[in-house]
Amino acid sequence: MSVAAFSLAEVTYAVGGDIGYQVQESAKSARFRLTTKQDNVSGVLLPRYESHISDGNSDFGLTGLGKGGQQVQKCRETYARAVEALVELATLQVCFKTYLATRHTLNLKN
């Protein structure tokens, strides 16, 4: 996450200002989609999240065209990796909490 924040700082410096409003105005649909599935582990159904990236969606492809376009693209890829890591972390956290709650409810050993 710190790499993604630093990448955004690089874009802000290269472009000469904040590009947040440009990204918000040009974004039409979500680029990341989440699907939920369930895994059966020891008789306990654990939720699992999977992220899917739509490659054809380049809503803000012209953002930073005048200057700083490479930094904008690099920042976009860095934030994509950060979001994928957050989805994986959320999956692990929800699985762990669900398993602990089930284990406590059913009084399972180990």
Question: How is 64-79 classified by DSSP, letter by letter?
Answer: T-SS-HHHHHHHHHHH
For residue range 49-97, what is the model confidence (pLDDT) as tens digits? 998 887 765 655 555 556 667 777 788 888 888 889 999 999 999 999 9
**Per-residue pLDDT at 49:** 92
Residue-averaged pLDDT of the chain: 79
**Per-residue pLDDT at 94:** 93
Higher pLDDT, 24 or 42: 42
Cα–Cα distance measured from residue 3 to residue 74, given in angstroms and rounded to the nearest whole number: 11
Higher pLDDT, 9 or 34: 34
